[in-house]
Structure 1
Amino acid sequence: MAATIALWQWYVVAYKVPHYILPGPDRVVDALVRDWPLLWPALLVTLQITLGALVVATIGGVGLAVLFAQSKWVEMSFFPYAVILQVTPVIVIAPLIFIYVPSKIIGLLICAWIVAFFPILSNTTLGLNSADHNLRNLFQLYGATRWQTLRYLRLPAALPYFLGGLRIAGGLSLIGAIVAEFVAGTGGVGSGLAFKILEASYRLNIPRMFAAILLISLTGIIIFAVLSLVTHLLLRNWHESAVKRDG
């Protein structure tokens, strides 16, 4: 990473690249510091949409996956709709969402939710269906209820799958929020980082564009790191993917 940044700086200086074409790292950092009062509120708006969509996707995805696990007919009936949402590009349906939904914030939230929802649903459903069938038979032999089997066997078995889907959905919710902001294209006090990028491009303020992109990348890295830490803390004492191995 350090070598890449150094090469970037050397290229800009050696070939005298205009800053409105490709700013050097020093100009990007300077723009980040100088425009921080402008970028920080926009970052909070984008982060609010991202985390809101992730929470809604988690609740809806896990709840629907549990429902799927209880009834194969329900899964066969409704899972195709989830697939349709996943394979339809959000940038195609976002304009319709903003037409039918009067609130811009809710429209952005729906767009980000659509992108983040499927990984949680599919991974959790797979995890719930991956519980050892021998253990299922044992639970049945001892007269466990469907709720007890779900709570003590299927949910713990699905936890690693769910956490894997959650890490994917964390990045996708950020991508969905940014794409939705681009489509919405509305500025003002409540605008996010995507609009700041558009605004900077119209003004040929390329250093500010790079600064906003840097903030988006750092936000995605932090979300992934936090969710990875949560995964490690929840699985470190019992699951093979997180247990420390000798040697």
Structure 2
Amino acid sequence: MKKRAWLVTNSAIVLACLIGLWAGAVAVAHIPVYMLPSPGAVLAAAWERYPSLINSLWITTMEAVGGLAASIVVGVAAALLFAQWRWMRQLVYPYTILLQTVPIVAIAPLIINWVGPGIQAVMLVTFIICLAPIIANTTQGLVSVDRNLVDLFLMHKATPAQILLKLKLPHALPTLFTGIRISAGIAVIGGITGELFAGSTRVGEGGLGYSIIYANNQMETGYMFALVAAATLLGFGFFFLVMFFEWLALHHWHESTREAAGE
């Protein structure tokens, strides 16, 4: 507990120093507010536009959660199929990895043409970005089970379903959560990227990505920085929420969470 408190304190001190350097640089160099607002100006803009900021944050949260949840369901299902049938893994798995190389900026206009602008299009963009890490990590965990353990289950006449659910799936949980952590970090990026193209169904109202463009066009730099800060906090929130669920699922039996907790 003392170690964690010390880490949090050090992190807070570093953050305070960075904010102080930012405020000092703006004051000393007399940087115009439209180029780099001071921390106070950003806080003032966030307070003044608080309802709009919360609305944009909520929209992006829904889009990121929807895309991430869909990618987890589809990714785990695909990984289970790949683990059960080697021929399917050899034929299809390489193409799922190609999702990581898809230039989402290039296909975003196509997605808008298919489903139209709005939340559904942004969720689809987020889903495509988040899917590959979950498939890759979960598949790796499922197929890397010690062969001796599999033979032990077979000696006790375990069915393929029992081997999958009672041996391979628990063994793959750490790598599954690794994939979810990666996808959780990029889910917000996917949502904001989708909003840059999918925009909004109402002028002046949308998620963080759309609001950042709108604020930039209106030369509201302070509010734009507040939106960027909100997106950063949302990404941190996703990451630490996944870490909490990982600890909840693994801390009783897996060494990775015990080492992280200092046990």
TM-score by length of structure 2 reads 0.90
Where does residue 245 of structure 2 map in the other structure? 230
Where does residue 242 of structure 1 map in the other structure? 257
Give the Å deviation of 1:105: 2.1
Q: Aligned equivalents of 1:246 and 1:95: distance in 2?
A: 48
Where does residue 195 of structure 1 map in the other structure? 210
Which is further off, 51-60 or 98-107? 98-107
Query: What does the per-residue CA deviation read over 1:55-84, in whole Å, with 9 as the maximum and x for residues that have no partner?
Result: 100000001100100101111222122122
Where does residue 129 of structure 1 map in the other structure? 143
* Maintained 8 Å contact 1:187/1:195: no
Q: Aligned equivalents of 1:41 and 1:123: distance in 2?
A: 34
Where does residue 100 of structure 2 map in the other structure? 86
Give the Å deviation of 1:30: 0.9
Amino acid at match of 1:236: H
CA RMSD across the alignment: 1.5
Q: Aligned equivalents of 1:187 and 1:215: distance in 2?
A: 22
* Maintained 8 Å contact 2:118/2:201: no
Query: What does the per-residue CA deviation read over 1:4-40, in whole Å, with 9 as the maximum and x for residues that have no partner?
Result: 1000000111111110010011111111111111111
The verdict on how the C-alpha distance between 1:95 and 1:163 changes in structure 2, with shifts beyond 3 A counting, is same
Match among 161, 170, 176 for residue 184 of structure 2: 170
* Maintained 8 Å contact 2:117/2:199: no
Q: Which runs of 5+ in 1 are unaligned?
A: none
Where does residue 117 of structure 1 map in the other structure? 131
Where does residue 10 of structure 2 map in the other structure? none
Query: What does the per-residue CA deviation read over 1:147-189, in whole Å, with 9 as the maximum and x for residues that have no partner?
Result: 0101110001000000111111111111111001001234627
Give the Å deviation of 1:102: 3.1
Amino acid at match of 2:215: A
Q: Aligned equivalents of 2:166 and 2:140: distance in 1?
A: 17
The verdict on how the C-alpha distance between 1:98 and 1:155 changes in structure 2, with shifts beyond 3 A counting, is same
Amino acid at match of 2:103: P
TM-score by length of structure 1 reads 0.96
Q: Aligned equivalents of 2:262 and 2:246: distance in 1?
A: 21
Q: Secondary structure at the match of 1:222?
A: helix
Q: Aligned equivalents of 1:246 and 1:72: distance in 2?
A: 39
Amino acid at match of 1:70: Q
Q: Which runs of 5+ in 2 are unaligned?
A: 1-14
Q: Aligned equivalents of 1:90 and 1:54: distance in 2?
A: 16
Give the total of aligned pairs.
247
Where does residue 73 of structure 2 map in the other structure? 59
Q: Aligned equivalents of 1:144 and 1:184: distance in 2?
A: 49
* Maintained 8 Å contact 2:112/2:121: yes
Q: Aligned equivalents of 2:99 and 2:137: distance in 1?
A: 16
Q: Aligned equivalents of 1:188 and 1:25: distance in 2?
A: 30
Q: Aligned equivalents of 2:114 and 2:250: distance in 1?
A: 42
